[in-house]
Structure 1
Amino acid sequence: MAQRHRPRISASYRIETPLDPKRAAEAMAGEQSSGTFLKLAGETDALRERHAARVESVIRRETVTAPSLPGALPSETYTRADVILSWPLENIGASLPNLLATVLGNLTELRELSGLRLTDITLPNDFIKAFAGPQFSIDGTRRLAGVDDGPLIGTIIKPSVGLSPEQTADLVKQLIEAGIDFIKDDELIADPPYSPLAKRVPAIMRVIEEHAQRTGRKPMYAFNITGDIDEMRQRHDLVRDHGGTCIMASVNWVGMSSLVALRRHSELPIHGHRNGWGLFYRHPQIGMSYRAYQALLRLAGADHLHVNGLGSKFAEADESVIDSARACLAPLLEGPGRDDRAMPVFSSAQTIHQAPATFAKLHSTDLIFTCGGGIMGHPNGIAAGCRSLRAAWEATANGVPLEEQAKQEPDLAVALRAFRSPFSG
Structure 2
Amino acid sequence: MRDPRVVRCTYYLESEIDPEQAAAAMAGEQSSGTFVAVPGESPRLRERHAAQVISVQELGLRSPSLPSRTPAKDVRAALAVVEFPMENIGTDLATLQTTVAGNLFELGELFACRLQDIELPKEFLAAHHGPAFGIPGTRTLLGNADGVMIGTIIKPNVGLAEDEFRLVVRELARSSIDLIKDDELMTDPAYLPLERRVAIATEEIREAEQHTGHPVMYAFNITGDLAGLQQRHDLVVQAGGRCVMLNVPIMGLPALAWLREFSAVPIHGHRAGLAGSMRAPGLGMSYRVWQQLARLAGADHLHVSGLGSKFYESDTEVAANVRSLLEPLGDFPSPVPTLSSGQNVTTPGPTYAAVGTTDLLMLAGGAVAAHPDGPAAGVRSLRAAWAAAVDGVPLEAAAHTAAQAGDPALLHAGRTFGGLA
Does the alignment reach a TM-score above 0.5? yes
TM-score range, shorter chain: over 0.9
**Displacement after TM superposition at 1:360 (Å):** 1.1
**Displacement after TM superposition at 1:73 (Å):** 4.3
**What secondary structure, in the 3-state scheme, does the structure 2 residue paired with 1:33 have?**
coil
Q: Is the 8 A contact 2:18 2:76 kept in 1?
A: yes
Q: Using the alignment, how far apart are the partners of 1:421 and 1:403 within structure 2?
A: 10
Q: Using the alignment, how far apart are the partners of 2:65 and 2:130 within structure 1?
A: 36
Amino acid of the residue matched to residue 291 of structure 1? R
Amino acid of the residue matched to residue 160 of structure 2? L
Q: Is the 8 A contact 2:2 2:48 kept in 1?
A: no
Amino acid of the residue matched to residue 241 of structure 1? Q
Alignment of 1:184 onto 2:181: yes
Q: TM-score, normalised by structure 2?
A: 0.95
Alignment of 1:276 onto 2:273: yes
Q: TM-score, normalised by structure 1?
A: 0.95
**Displacement after TM superposition at 1:265 (Å):** 1.3
**What secondary structure, in the 3-state scheme, does the structure 1 residue paired with 2:10 have?**
strand
Q: Is the 8 A contact 2:59 2:76 kept in 1?
A: yes
Q: Is the 8 A contact 2:3 2:86 kept in 1?
A: no
**Displacement after TM superposition at 1:397 (Å):** 1.2
**What secondary structure, in the 3-state scheme, does the structure 2 residue paired with 1:83 have?**
strand
- Structure 1: gaps spanning 5 or more residues: none
Q: Using the alignment, how far apart are the partners of 1:171 and 1:118 within structure 2?
A: 42
**Displacement after TM superposition at 1:166 (Å):** 3.0
Which residue pairs with 1:345 in the alignment? 338
Deviation per CA, 1:170-191, whole angstroms, max 9, x where unpaired? 1111112122111100001111
**What secondary structure, in the 3-state scheme, does the structure 2 residue paired with 1:307 have?**
strand
Amino acid of the residue matched to residue 384 of structure 1? A
5 Å-filtered alignment, 1:339-418, equals 339=333, 341-409=334-402, 410-418=408-416
Q: Using the alignment, how far apart are the partners of 1:366 and 1:209 within structure 2?
A: 26
**Displacement after TM superposition at 1:214 (Å):** 4.0
5 Å-filtered alignment, 1:23-422, equals 23-64=21-62, 66-334=63-331, 338-339=332-333, 341-409=334-402, 410-420=408-418
**Displacement after TM superposition at 1:233 (Å):** 0.6
**What secondary structure, in the 3-state scheme, does the structure 2 residue paired with 1:29 have?**
helix
- Structure 2: gaps spanning 5 or more residues: 403-407
Amino acid of the residue matched to residue 361 of structure 2? I
Over the aligned positions, Cα root-mean-square deviation in angstroms equals 1.6
Q: Using the alignment, how far apart are the partners of 1:23 and 1:215 within structure 2?
A: 65
**Displacement after TM superposition at 1:147 (Å):** 4.3
Choose 71-80 or 199-208, whichever is displaced more.
71-80
Residue 19 of structure 2: which of 11, 18, 21 is its match? 21
**What secondary structure, in the 3-state scheme, does the structure 2 residue paired with 1:408 have?**
helix
Q: Is the 8 A contact 2:170 2:204 kept in 1?
A: yes
Q: Using the alignment, how far apart are the partners of 2:345 and 2:71 within structure 1?
A: 51
**Displacement after TM superposition at 1:399 (Å):** 1.7
Amino acid of the residue matched to residue 233 of structure 1? Q
**Displacement after TM superposition at 1:255 (Å):** 1.1
**What secondary structure, in the 3-state scheme, does the structure 2 residue paired with 1:380 have?**
coil
Choose 4-13 or 199-208, whichever is displaced more.
4-13
Q: Is the 8 A contact 1:18 1:72 kept in 2?
A: no
**What secondary structure, in the 3-state scheme, does the structure 2 residue paired with 1:14 have?**
strand
Change (3 A) 1:186 1:91: same
Amino acid of the residue matched to residue 346 of structure 2? H
Q: Is the 8 A contact 2:176 2:212 kept in 1?
A: no
**Displacement after TM superposition at 1:49 (Å):** 1.1
Q: Is the 8 A contact 1:134 1:302 kept in 2?
A: yes
Q: Using the alignment, how far apart are the partners of 1:361 and 1:254 within structure 2?
A: 32
**Displacement after TM superposition at 1:213 (Å):** 3.6
Amino acid of the residue matched to residue 59 of structure 1? Q
**Displacement after TM superposition at 1:194 (Å):** 0.5
Q: Is the 8 A contact 2:3 2:48 kept in 1?
A: no
Q: Using the alignment, how far apart are the partners of 1:251 and 1:88 within structure 2?
A: 27
Choose 177-186 or 142-151, whichever is displaced more.
142-151
Amino acid of the residue matched to residue 353 of structure 1? T
**Displacement after TM superposition at 1:421 (Å):** 7.1
Pairs aligned (count): 415
